[in-house]
């Protein structure tokens, strides 16, 4: 989102510079807000339920953002995505530690490795897909990632 959303807003949708820049800023602001509130949400809903919601909100936020050209809906979708995915990493660390408590450090390092791999490979993958298809189609991978989070969350055990 951080690398390609501004380009999408400016070049693909033709938004003026102020809207193009504000979409990215709103996404990051929502991430900051979400990180502050993630602990509270997880404390009330548990990791599994929170991740289920994260997956659905991410997929729906990106779908709305890609399905329209109305600035308020596109940028609103970016806000929803930022709010939703902001706590995924910390929840993933927690789940990894709970999954193999006797080797929590190893499990968390595996999650960290995959996270950094996604951080490094995500932007060029989106760029390659944009080159082959379009940036709108390439950004659809974020909706797919949301559905993957939802699906993987279904595999977690329910909280007691």
Please indicate, yes or no, if residue 160 is contained in any of the structural domains.
no
Enumerate residues 6+ apart whose C-beta is below 8 A from 88.
Answer: 51, 54, 149
Domain coverage including residue 39? 5-154
Please indicate, yes or no, if residue 42 is contained in any of the structural domains.
yes
More confident residue, 3 or 123: 123
- In the chain, the number of structural domains is 1
Please indicate, yes or no, if residue 159 is contained in any of the structural domains.
no
Please indicate, yes or no, if residue 37 is contained in any of the structural domains.
yes
**Share above pLDDT 90 across residues of the chain, in percent, rounded to a whole number:** 87
Say whether pLDDT at 99 is over 90.
Answer: no
**Share above pLDDT 70 across residues of the chain, in percent, rounded to a whole number:** 98
Distances in whole angstroms, Cα of residue 138 to Cα of each of 60, 90, 130, 132, 155: 16, 26, 5, 9, 27
Please indicate, yes or no, if residue 98 is contained in any of the structural domains.
yes
d(CA 8, CA 1): 10
Please indicate, yes or no, if residue 114 is contained in any of the structural domains.
yes
pLDDT confidence of residue 3: 82
Residue position matching structure tokens 């408590």: 101
pLDDT in tens, 38-54: 999 999 999 999 999 99
CATH number at residue 97: 1.20.1250.20
pLDDT in tens, 60-95: 999 999 999 999 999 999 999 999 999 999 999 999
**Band (159; pLDDT cuts 50, 70, 90):** low
Please indicate, yes or no, if residue 55 is contained in any of the structural domains.
yes
Distance of CA 156 to the CA centre of its chain: 19
Q: Which of 22, 2, 139, 126 is nearest to 75 (CA)?
A: 22
């Amino acid at each position: 989102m951080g690398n390609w959303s501004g380009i999408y807003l400016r070049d693909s949708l033709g938004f003026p510079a102020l809207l193009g820049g504000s979409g990215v800023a709103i996404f990051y602001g929502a991430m900051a807000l979400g990180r502050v509130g993630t602990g509270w949400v997880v404390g009330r809903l548990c990791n599994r339920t929170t991740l289920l919601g994260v997956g659905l909100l991410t997929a729906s936020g990106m779908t709305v953002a890609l399905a329209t050209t109305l600035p308020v809906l596109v940028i609103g979708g970016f806000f929803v995505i930022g709010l939703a995915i902001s706590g995924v990493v910390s929840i993933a660390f927690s789940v990894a530690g709970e999954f193999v408590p006797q080797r929590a450090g190893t499990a968390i390092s595996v999650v960290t490795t995959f996270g950094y791999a996604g951080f490094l490979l995500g932007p060029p993958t989106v760029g390659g897909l944009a080159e082959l298809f379009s940036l709108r189609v390439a950004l659809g991978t974020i909706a797919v990632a949301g559905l993957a989070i939802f699906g993987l969350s279904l595999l977690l055990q329910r909280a007691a």
